Structure 1
Amino acid sequence: MQFKGRADDLRLLDGQLKAVMDGTGSARGRAVIMAGRRRVGKSRLAQEFCDRSGLPYVLFQATRARNPEGERADFVASVASSPFAGADLVAGLSATDWNQALRTAAIAAADDSPSLLVIDEVPWLVEQDREFEGALQTIWDRHLSAKPVLLVLVGSDLSVMEALQSHDRPFFGRATKMTVRPLDPAAVQEITELSAAEAIDAQLITGGFPELVQSWGAGRSRIEFLRETLTSPLSPLLVAGELSLLGEFPESSRSRLVLEAIGTGERTYSAIAAQSGGTGALPAGTLTPILNTLQTTRIVATDLPLSTKSDTKNKRYRIADSYLRFWLACLERAIPLVERGRGDLASTRIERTWTSWRGRAVEPLIRESLQRLLPDDRWPHVEAVGGWWNRQNNPEIDLIGADRDPVAGSIEFAGSIKWLEDRPFDRHDYDELTRGLLAVPGTAFDTPLVAVSRSGTAPDLPLAMCWGPEDILAAWQ
């Protein structure tokens, strides 16, 4: 399968490798911590990078819950069977601890030519053996960093990968960190060969996860893709969400209930507590730690209203990954229908709610896209793009462009998002925006008004700017 959509990530890795080859660092070797959520394509990226480099490499992948002795033996065997210059020197060796196992890589790596050492699923090694981190630091400092080696540590548990760089952990300060994210809308369009508007739909449904984007195929409409996908309970679109959740949250766990409440549309703390608590609201002592953990692991994101007035208690919660959001809202309920051969009913149900679901789901993507486009010549002072709402969500302003966040010094524009296929942004939408404008702290009668619309705007509306699907996609190109 052709590898697409990772040009920026490959460029980052190439830059680190070039520093090793040029010897420009304080040490000959360099280390990179590559973190990212499961199924985002980290292992595939690492393999592609190794293959493209043309250099000797070892790519070792840990196995979850395996005994440390077997893991160390496999690591040494991987080094011994690799194209490293001194691989034959470690053939037949055994290792009683990770110091000895990692030392074999240092022995086998060449002194005068670059090589790559990739260790995948590092969190599992940390989980298996508490001595792994200390051994990694020792061997890196004493041996590996003295050779032209690029060490890449890969992992999906974001909290563990971030902890590797904590000041109280052995490997602190020794690695550059990169985060592998899902494919962006431009990469999704490249793979699916869809129009800008349709590619954004594909982005919202697949979340940019490579396996799901590849399963879309070239040129298929959203309706065609969903109808075909929902004929099989084993389709990647249905299976990936359940696997992702089961790997971290058992079906009976409180965290799973909280996720499902947020995924089905609850955004406020009180509504989430009520929805996930069963017969009564989930107590704050239970809900608050769960929400904190979900935010730390980047599964749940929070938004605050953006204006010149601080409002830190008026949070709104959402599922950060649009695919998981789509799965929780639309696909989880569809699985029983698909299993009994009624994918047609599931498809009809999704289509019935699609417009309203997409209207809310596209907002974070649009704000992030505008954040990438701005500032520009028209809006030279816009450094932050968000939204604004009061506790009653009346009014709710989709777009606020400001000089900074979380508390703005000045509001540069206010705007509305209308992502409809059959209607442009019209006079009714404009009037609704103007009625809510002055409720936002920091706005005035002459605050410029903008719109983001899938279908353009009605004529003669006094908008300062209107962005369309092509503009949103251009932010990622």
Structure 2
Amino acid sequence: MDFAGREADLKALEGQLRAVVDRKGATRGRAVIMTGRRRVGKSRLVQEFCDRSGLPYLFFQATKGRSPAAERLDLVEAISCSALPGRELVAGAEPPDWNHMLRSLAVAMGEQAPSIVVLDEVPWLVEQDGEFEGALQTVWDRHLSARPVLLILVGSDLSMMESLQEYDRPFFGRATRMTVRPLDLPDVAEMTGLGAAEAIDALLVTGGFPEVVQSWEPTMTRMEFLRAGLGNPLSPLLMAGELSLLGEFPSATHTRAVLEAIGTGERTFGAIANRVGGSHPLPAGTLSPILANLIAKRVVHADLPLSTEADTRNKRYRVADPYLRFWLAFLQRAVSESERGRPDVALRRIERSWTTWRGRAVEPVVRERLARLLPDDDWPDAEVIGGWWNRRNNPEIDIVAADREPVAGRIQFVGSIKWLDARPFDRRDYDELARGAGFVPGTTSDTPLVAVSRAGFEPGLPLSAAWTPEDLLRPILS
């Protein structure tokens, strides 16, 4: 399958490799800790990078639940099959521990020619053997860092991968961190061949997950893509979500139930507790750590109202990536319907709810895109993009731009998002925004009003900015 997108990620890795080749840095070798959600394309990205480099490399993927001794033997075999210059020196070795194993890896690299070493699914290595981290630190300091190697440590458990760099952990301060995110809107637009508005719909359905986006044939409409994906029980559209969740959250757990409650529309702590607990709300002592874990894993995001007043008790929870949001809302039920040959049932359900669901789901996507486009020359102090609401969600302001968070020093503008196919943002929408803006702490009668609309704008509205899908798609100036 052809590789598409990820140019910024490839450039970041190439920059690290150039530093190794050009001998720039305190140590000859360099290490990168690469994190990202499961199935976001980390392994494929690193493989492409290794192939493009033209250098000898080792790519080793750990196996969950395997014994450390068996894992080390597999790593020896992988070294023997690689192009590392000293691979023959370790053939047939049986290292008794990770210290010996990683020292053997250093021998296989040699001391002169640059090389790349990738250890994939590092959290599984850490789980298997508590000595792995300490051995990695020791061998890095004494052997690996003195060699011309780019060491890339890859893992999907974001909280565990980030903890590798914490102050009290052995590998602290020895690696650069890199987060691989889903494909961005311009990549989705290019790969699907769609216009701006339709590409945003495609992003909501696929989440920018490469395997799902690549199954979207160029110029397919959303309906054509959904019909094709729902008609095949093994399609990436249906399977990527289940495979991603099964790897982290077994179905018969409170964690999975909490995630499903959020994915189907519950946003507040109390509503989630009631949904999961049924007749008896899930106790706060049970729900709080589950939410904390989901947030740490970057699966769920907790939003706070953005204004000049602190409001830490008014959190709203949402599934962090659009594809998983779509999968939990519609596709989880669609899997069994596809398997029994009735994808039409799922397709009708999606179409009945599409406009309403999309109107809510597009809001964080638009805010995230504006946060990447701003600040600019017109809005030099719009450093943070969020939203605002009160406890009754009346009003609820879609966009708030400020100079900082969580408590703003100054509100830059407030705005509304209208994402309808045929109705432009009109005077009624403007008047509703103007009334609601006055409730946001920190706004005045002079605070600029802006809007984002899928279908354009009624002429003559006194908006300070009026963004269309095409504006959201424009390149980000670095």
TM-score interval w.r.t. the shorter chain? over 0.9
Structure 1 distance, partners of 2:243, 2:147, is 40
Secondary structure at the counterpart of residue 216 of structure 1 = coil
For 1:206, the equivalent position in structure 2 comes to 206
For 1:110, the equivalent position in structure 2 comes to 110
Give runs of aligned pairs for residues 94-109 of structure 1, distance below 5 A: 94-109=94-109
Give runs of aligned pairs for residues 322-361 of structure 1, distance below 5 A: 322-361=322-361
Structure 1 distance, partners of 2:278, 2:323, is 26
For 1:230, the equivalent position in structure 2 comes to 230
Structure 2 distance, partners of 1:336, 1:51, is 39
For 2:193, the equivalent position in structure 1 comes to 193
Q: CA deviation at 1:110?
A: 2.5
Calculate the aligned-residue CA RMSD, in Å.
1.1
Structure 1 distance, partners of 2:68, 2:469, is 51
Structure 2 distance, partners of 1:69, 1:319, is 38
Q: Any idea what the Cα deviations from partners look like across 1:155-202, whole Å, max 9, x if unmatched?
A: 111111111111111111111110111111111111111111111111
Structure 2 distance, partners of 1:352, 1:91, is 61
Q: CA deviation at 1:337?
A: 2.2
Amino acid at match of 1:104: S
Moved over 6 A (4+): none
For 1:20, the equivalent position in structure 2 comes to 20
Runs of 5+ unmatched residues, structure 2: none
Structure 2 distance, partners of 1:139, 1:104, is 10
Structure 1 distance, partners of 2:335, 2:75, is 40
Q: Is the 8 A contact 1:451 1:465 kept in 2?
A: yes
Q: CA deviation at 1:111?
A: 1.4
Give runs of aligned pairs for residues 454-473 of structure 1, distance below 5 A: 454-473=454-473
Q: Is the 8 A contact 1:369 1:476 kept in 2?
A: no
For 1:418, the equivalent position in structure 2 comes to 418
Amino acid at match of 1:340: R
Structure 1 distance, partners of 2:449, 2:286, is 42
Q: Is the 8 A contact 1:158 1:297 kept in 2?
A: yes
Structure 2 distance, partners of 1:326, 1:81, is 42
Q: CA deviation at 1:44?
A: 0.6
For 2:68, the equivalent position in structure 1 comes to 68
Structure 1 distance, partners of 2:34, 2:137, is 17
Structure 2 distance, partners of 1:413, 1:263, is 30
Structure 1 distance, partners of 2:234, 2:147, is 47
For 2:408, the equivalent position in structure 1 comes to 408
Q: Is the 8 A contact 1:206 1:323 kept in 2?
A: yes
More displaced, 74-83 or 278-287? 74-83
Q: Any idea what the Cα deviations from partners look like across 1:386-428, whole Å, max 9, x if unmatched?
A: 1110000000111111111111111121110001111100111
Amino acid at match of 1:325: R
The share of aligned pairs that are identical, in percent, is: 66
Structure 2 distance, partners of 1:19, 1:95, is 31
Q: Is the 8 A contact 1:72 1:101 kept in 2?
A: yes
Q: Any idea what the Cα deviations from partners look like across 1:234-271, whole Å, max 9, x if unmatched?
A: 22111121222222222220011111111111111111
For 2:146, the equivalent position in structure 1 comes to 146
Q: Is the 8 A contact 1:33 1:176 kept in 2?
A: yes
Secondary structure at the counterpart of residue 74 of structure 2 = helix
Amino acid at match of 1:53: S
Give runs of aligned pairs for residues 22-61 of structure 1, distance below 5 A: 22-61=22-61
For 2:170, the equivalent position in structure 1 comes to 170
TM superposition score normalised by structure 1? 0.98
Structure 1 distance, partners of 2:344, 2:40, is 29
Amino acid at match of 2:69: E
For 2:132, the equivalent position in structure 1 comes to 132
For 1:291, the equivalent position in structure 2 comes to 291
Structure 2 distance, partners of 1:194, 1:246, is 32
Structure 1 distance, partners of 2:329, 2:439, is 31
Q: Is the 8 A contact 1:186 1:476 kept in 2?
A: no
Secondary structure at the counterpart of residue 270 of structure 2 = helix
Structure 2 distance, partners of 1:153, 1:86, is 21
Q: CA deviation at 1:334?
A: 2.1
Amino acid at match of 1:365: V
Structure 2 distance, partners of 1:3, 1:347, is 30
Structure 2 distance, partners of 1:476, 1:155, is 28
For 2:252, the equivalent position in structure 1 comes to 252
For 1:374, the equivalent position in structure 2 comes to 374
Structure 1 distance, partners of 2:54, 2:334, is 46
Q: Any idea what the Cα deviations from partners look like across 1:80-119, whole Å, max 9, x if unmatched?
A: 2221111122222221111111111111113122111111
Q: CA deviation at 1:475?
A: 4.9
Q: Any idea what the Cα deviations from partners look like across 1:335-357, whole Å, max 9, x if unmatched?
A: 23222211112111101101111
Structure 2 distance, partners of 1:205, 1:295, is 22
Q: Any idea what the Cα deviations from partners look like across 1:278-312, whole Å, max 9, x if unmatched?
A: 22211111111111111011110011111111111
Structure 2 distance, partners of 1:24, 1:337, is 57
Structure 1 distance, partners of 2:5, 2:131, is 37
Alignment of 1:182 with 2:211, yes or no, is: no
For 2:80, the equivalent position in structure 1 comes to 80
Q: Is the 8 A contact 1:79 1:104 kept in 2?
A: no
Q: CA deviation at 1:214?
A: 0.5
Structure 1 distance, partners of 2:346, 2:287, is 32
Runs of 5+ unmatched residues, structure 1: none
Structure 2 distance, partners of 1:250, 1:87, is 40
Secondary structure at the counterpart of residue 248 of structure 1 = coil
Secondary structure at the counterpart of residue 224 of structure 1 = helix
TM superposition score normalised by structure 2? 0.98
For 1:264, the equivalent position in structure 2 comes to 264
Structure 1 distance, partners of 2:307, 2:413, is 11
Amino acid at match of 2:217: G
Secondary structure at the counterpart of residue 301 of structure 1 = strand
Amino acid at match of 2:447: T
Structure 2 distance, partners of 1:87, 1:240, is 36
